[in-house]
């Protein structure tokens, strides 16, 4: 049996002392870590979060195990979404979970020493095992949330990069340039179509040069997306031309059986822009 009302009372009585001990031993000089803050408000928030953690952890000793773990898991998932902690390097947060565990186990050990005549060693080991299990659960939940947060940031950054890497540059006389650079996969190609159509409509573009000088590799799916872009632009009243197709792409196009016959192409960007000027 893990429950013990006297242990619970002892831990509750010493909660703030445990929190103060935890914070007093923090040594962190990394500006990226929330634990290095000198802001009194942030420090108070850190202490309150630590205290809240202790108070939830104390409930282990008065609640049924299954009920406790279910409630603690739900609470920990919400705590793990705290953005300040998510912005802190993971190893610092894991370090503080471990230090919190050490302090907590030390207080349980002190309680055992004060009541050694009525608590056997197996009971102490059971408490230690359960606390470690709970702290490991907290670490797992935090790392999982941090991983999800990182994936969201990467996806957002990739979207921004993709948007910035396919800008429609307005030149003059309703003529614009779309310089494409780097690898283009199917997802990026679809984004290029969406952005290009919107920008051409917003800028009232009538002539667009799509320059592929910076694209080294192109596959069948991406080629089809480019064809789709040119057809969609035509529906908007935009005349398009492809420029700067590299020898590697031309060779690949032949090997893959890609047909550029319906699309006007030029060897260079300068030639493409010059050719567009003849349409006016």
- pLDDT tens for the chain, residues 1 to 280: 788 999 999 999 999 999 999 999 888 788 878 888 888 998 998 999 999 999 999 999 999 988 998 888 888 888 888 887 788 888 888 898 999 999 999 999 999 999 999 999 999 999 999 999 999 999 999 999 888 888 888 888 777 766 666 688 888 888 999 998 877 777 778 888 888 999 999 999 999 999 988 887 777 777 778 888 888 998 999 989 989 888 877 777 777 776 666 778 888 888 877 877 776 5
Consecutive H or E run containing 177:
strand 175-181
Tell me which DSSP letter residue 172 carries.
S
In angstroms, the CA 160 to CA 124 distance is: 54
In this structure, are residues 229 and 186 in contact, taking their beta carbons and an 8 Å threshold? Answer: no
Residue 9, SS3? helix
Is 43 exposed, middle or buried (CB count within 10 Å of its CB: 0-12, 13-18, 19+)? middle
Instruction: Give the residues across from 170 on adjacent strands.
Output: 176
Cα(124)–Cα(114) distance, integer angstroms: 12
Q: Which two tokens stand for residue 160?
A: 């921004």
CATH 3.30.750.24 spans which residues of the chain?
A: 169-277
User: Tens digit of pLDDT for each residue in 72-114?
Assistant: 888 888 888 888 778 888 888 889 899 999 999 999 999 999 9
The CB-side HSE value for 264 (13 A sphere, CA atoms) comes to: 17
Residue linked to tokens 């009194």:
40
| Cα separation, 280 vs 171, whole angstroms | 14
Report the topology of domain 169-277.
Transcription Regulator spoIIAA (3.30.750)
The length of the chain in residues reads 280
Residue appearing with tokens 């565990």: 101
CATH of domain 5-159: 1.10.490.10
State the span(s) of the chain assigned CATH 1.10.490.10. Answer: 5-159
CB count in 10 Å sphere of residue 280: 10
88: left (phi over 0), alpha (psi -120 to 50) or beta: beta
Chain segment 225-247, per-residue pLDDT in tens: 888 888 899 899 998 998 988 88
Pair 177, 146: CB distance under 8 Å: no
Largest separation between any pair of C-alpha atoms in the chain: 100
> What Rg do the C-alpha atoms of the chain give, in angstroms?
31
Put the strands of the sheet holding 265-266 in their side by side order.
169-170, 175-181, 207-214, 239-243, 265-266
């Amino acid at each position: 049996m893990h429950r013990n009302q006297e242990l619970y009372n002892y831990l509750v009585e010493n909660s703030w002392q445990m929190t103060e001990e935890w914070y007093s031993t923090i040594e962190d000089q990394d500006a990226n870590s929330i634990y290095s803050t000198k802001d009194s408000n942030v420090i108070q928030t850190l202490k309150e979060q630590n205290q809240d953690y202790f108070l939830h952890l104390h409930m282990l000793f008065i609640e049924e195990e299954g009920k406790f773990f279910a409630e603690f898991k739900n609470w920990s998932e919400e705590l793990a979404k705290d953005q300040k902690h998510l912005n802190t390097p993971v190893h610092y947060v894991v370090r503080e979970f471990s230090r919190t565990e050490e302090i907590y186990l030390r207080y349980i050990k002190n309680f055992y020493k004060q009541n050694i005549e009525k608590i056997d060693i197996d009971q102490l080991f059971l408490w230690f095992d359960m606390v470690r299990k709970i702290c490991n659960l907290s670490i797992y939940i935090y790392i999982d949330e941090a991983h999800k947060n990182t994936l969201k940031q990467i996806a957002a950054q990739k979207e921004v990069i993709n948007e910035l890497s396919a800008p429609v540059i307005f030149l003059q006389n309703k003529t614009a340039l779309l310089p494409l650079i780097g690898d283009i996969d199917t997802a990026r190609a679809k984004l290029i179509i969406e952005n290009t159509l919107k920008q051409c409509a917003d800028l009232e573009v009538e002539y667009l040069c799509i320059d592929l000088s910076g694209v080294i590799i192109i596959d069948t799916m991406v080629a089809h997306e480019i064809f789709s872009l040119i057809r969609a632009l035509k529906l908007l009243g935009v005349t398009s031309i492809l420029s700067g197709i590299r020898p590697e792409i031309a060779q690949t196009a032949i090997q893959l059986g890609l047909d550029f016959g319906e699309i006007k192409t030029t060897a260079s960007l300068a030639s493409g822009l010059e050719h567009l000027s003849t349409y006016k």
